[in-house]
A and B are shown apart, each in its own frame.
Chain A
Amino acid sequence: MNKTILGYVPEESPIYRTHPFVRVFFLLVVSLFPMCIAAPEWNFILVILVILLMRYSRIDLATLRFYVPVSMSMGSIILISYILVSGHHPEFIQLASLGPIRIYFERIRDAIVVYLRVLPMIFITVFFLSTSRERDIIVAMRSIRVPFVITYLTAMALRAAGMVMEDFSIVRQAEQARGYDPVGKPIAYKLKQWVMYMVPLFALSLRRADEFSNALVARGYNFTGVLKAPKRADYVLTHYRFHASDAAIIILLSGALVALMVLRYRYGYFTLEGSLTSALLHRWLLR
C-alpha cells in the first residue's frame, strides 16, 4: 500500500501510471469545471464522475464516509447563511417569513447552486490528496520548473502540518493526564484551555525549526534567492516519465474546459434558467 496525504492506495492502482504533473493538472483544471456550470444537476453528475474515478483508482471508498457529515453541515451552513442574509427584495418570490427574515425562493435556489459548485471541488481535492504523496507534489512542481525554494517550502509546509497535528494530539493527551476534563465546564474554561495548546505547540515548533535549520546547513542547502538558484539535478524526476497517455489526458482536459466555456457562454448550455433543478424547484416550492 502506498501512503498518500489522505490515506492509502494499493500499489497497483492505475492512477500511478499517470505522471504526478497530470494529477496536479487535473486538480487545477477540473476544479474550474463547476465554475462554468450553473445547472446543479450537471455539477451533481460531475461529483458522481469523480467518485467513479476514485473507484477506478482503487481508493477505499469507505474513507468517503468521513466526508458525508462534513458535506451535510456545509450544505446546511450555506443554506442558512443565504436565508439569513435575505435583505429586502420585493422582486423576489417570498415563500415565508421568520420574524424580520424573509425566505425567498431565489435565495434557496442560489444556495443550491453554490453548494453544488463547491461539492465537486471538495471531491476533486479529496481525490487528489488521496492519490498523491508529498513527493508527487514536488515532482509535479519541479517538472514544470517551479523554483526549488517554492517547491520545497510547499512540501515542508505539508509535512509540518502533519507534525503539528501529531503534536496537538500528544499535548491533548498530556492535558488529560493532568486531570483536564472538559465535560460539563463553561465555554470560557474551554477557550482558555485551547489557548494553552499554543504554548507547547510553539515551543515544539521553535525547537524543531532550530534543529531543522542546522540540518539544512549540514546538507549544504544554501538559499541564494529565487532567481539565482543553481541548477539542481532533480534526481527524483528520473523515476517518472511522461507518456503519450499523459499528454492525451492533458489535451483532453484542456479541451473539455474550453468546450464547457464555449457551450456555456456562447451557446447558453448549463445555465440555471434552463436547468432541470430550477424546473423542479419551481414545481415543488411554488405550487
Chain B
Amino acid sequence: MAERHPYIEVRDLVYRYPDGTLALRGISLDIYDGDFIALIGQNGSGKTTLAKCLNGLFKPTSGDVIVEGLNTKNTSITNIAKRAGYVFQNPDHQLFNNNVWDEIAYGPRNLQLPGGEVQARVEETAQVVGLDEKYFTEHPFFLPKGLRQRVAIASILALQPKAIIVDEPTTGQDIKQSLDIMDFLLDLHREQGHIIIIITHDMPIVAQYAKRVIALGLGEILVDGPTRDVFAQPDVLAKTFVAPPQITRLAQRTQHLGFDPHTLTVSEMMEQFQRLIPGQWLGQ
C-alpha cells in the first residue's frame, strides 16, 4: 500500500474543560482521505469533545491536531472550518437566520466570497442535500426535524470542507429516515469524495455504512479499526457501553455452528446459512 499522508493528524491530544473535567486523555489517530468513520462510545466518553477538537472549535490543552498541514493551535477557526466541518446534534443550535437561503449562505459570506460565488454555492449545496428551492424563503424554525437537519448539513457543506463530522445523524429519526440520511452521507463520500465521520449510538447503521470504527471510553481510544474487526470484540465494546448489532451477536453466539463473528448484516448471515446448513435440509 502506498504511503498516504493523513488529512487530519491527532497526536497525544489532551483536553481539559475550564471547570477542570478531563475529557480527553491522550488521543492519537490519523484520518485519511476516503475514510468513513463511526465514532462510538458512551455519553461522556469524549466523542463530541474530540469532534470539536478536530474542527478547531476546541484548542488542545496539550498535544496537537493538524488538519491538512495546519495546526489548530495557531490557525483561525475559519481556516479549519473550511477543511473540517461539524454539524451539531441539535439543528436548533445552529440555525440563526430567518430563511433557509440566508442560512446556507451564512458560511460562504463569512468566508468573504463574492456574491456570485455565494449564490452558486447555495444552489449547488441545496441540490446535493435534496432541498427544494421552494424552501429557500421558509424560516428554519418551522420546518420539520428532518428538513431542519438537512438545512444544518447544507449550511456546513456550503463551506466545502473535505471532512464532515455529523453528530448523531440518526437519533430521533425512524429507520427509513435514518437510512435516507445515511445514504445521502454515503453519496457525499462516494460521489463527492468527502471524508465522513459520524458520532452515533446506532449500531446497525454503523455496521451497514462505516468502514472504520473508533470507540472511545473515558477519554481514551479503546479500539480503532475496520468495522468488522471492531464488532468482533464485544468485550472491548462493552467497556464503552456499546453492543454490536443484533445480527452480529447472533453470529457470535453461533460461532460453533460455523458462523463468522465478523458478520455485519442479515444478508451476510443468510449467505453463510445457505452455505453451512447441514445437507439434509435442502427443501422442506
> Do chains A and B make direct contact within the complex (CB under 8 angstroms)?
yes
- The chain A residues found within 8 Å of chain B, CB to CB, are 167, 170-171, 173-181, 183, 196-197, 199-200, 203-204, 207
Q: Which 7 A-B pairs have the closest CB atoms?
A: A179-B110, A174-B94, A179-B78, A196-B96, A178-B107, A199-B96, A181-B78
- Closest-by-CB residue of A relative to B106 is A178
Q: B92 and A176: CB pair below 8 A? A: no
Also in contact, A204 and B156, with CB within 8 A (given A177-B77, A179-B111): no
Q: A179 and B93: CB pair below 8 A? A: no
Q: A167 and B81: CB pair below 8 A? A: no
Q: What would be 21 A-B contacts, judged by CB atoms less than 8 Å apart?
A: A173-B52, A174-B88, A174-B93, A175-B94, A175-B96, A176-B57, A176-B77, A177-B77, A177-B85, A177-B86, A177-B88, A177-B94, A177-B156, A178-B81, A178-B106, A178-B107, A180-B110, A181-B78, A183-B76, A197-B96, A203-B95
A36 to B207, CA, bound (A): 72
- Closest-by-CB residue of A relative to B94 is A174
Inter-chain contacts of A197 with B (CB < 8 A)? 96
Q: B110 and A178: CB pair below 8 A? A: yes
A160 to B30, CA, bound (A): 40
Also in contact, A178 and B93, with CB within 8 A (given A173-B57, A183-B76, A203-B141): no
- Which of A170, A180, A196 is B93 in contact with, Cβ under 8 Å? A170
By size class, the interface of chain B is 20 to 34
Inter-chain contacts of A176 with B (CB < 8 A)? 57, 77, 81
- From 160 to 204 in chain B, residues with beta carbon under 8 angstroms from any chain A beta carbon are none
Q: A207 and B92: CB pair below 8 A? A: yes
Q: How near does chain B come to A10, taking the closest CB pair, in angstroms?
A: 15
Q: Is B98 an interface residue (CB 8 A)?
A: yes
Inter-chain contacts of A177 with B (CB < 8 A)? 55, 57, 77, 81, 85-86, 88, 94, 156
Q: Is B155 an interface residue (CB 8 A)?
A: yes
- Closest-by-CB residue of A relative to B111 is A179
Inter-chain contacts of A196 with B (CB < 8 A)? 96-97
- Closest-by-CB residue of A relative to B109 is A179
In addition to A177-B57, A203-B92, 5 A-B residue pairs with Cβ atoms within 8 Å of each other are A170-B88, A177-B88, A179-B77, A179-B82, A179-B111
Q: How near does chain A come to B144, taking the closest CB pair, in angstroms?
A: 13
A175 to B110, CA, bound (A): 10
Q: Is B159 an interface residue (CB 8 A)?
A: yes
Q: A167 and B111: CB pair below 8 A? A: no
Q: How near does chain B come to A253, taking the closest CB pair, in angstroms?
A: 33
Inter-chain contacts of B88 with A (CB < 8 A)? 170, 173-174, 177
A177 to B78, CA, bound (A): 7
Inter-chain contacts of B86 with A (CB < 8 A)? 177
- Closest-by-CB residue of B relative to A179 is B110
Interface centre among A171, A173, A183 (most CB of B within 10 A): A173
Inter-chain contacts of A175 with B (CB < 8 A)? 94, 96
Inter-chain contacts of B81 with A (CB < 8 A)? 176-179
A218 to B104, CA, bound (A): 39
A196 to B94, CA, bound (A): 10
Interface centre among B55, B77, B156 (most CB of A within 10 A): B77
Q: How near does chain B come to A59, taking the closest CB pair, in angstroms?
A: 16
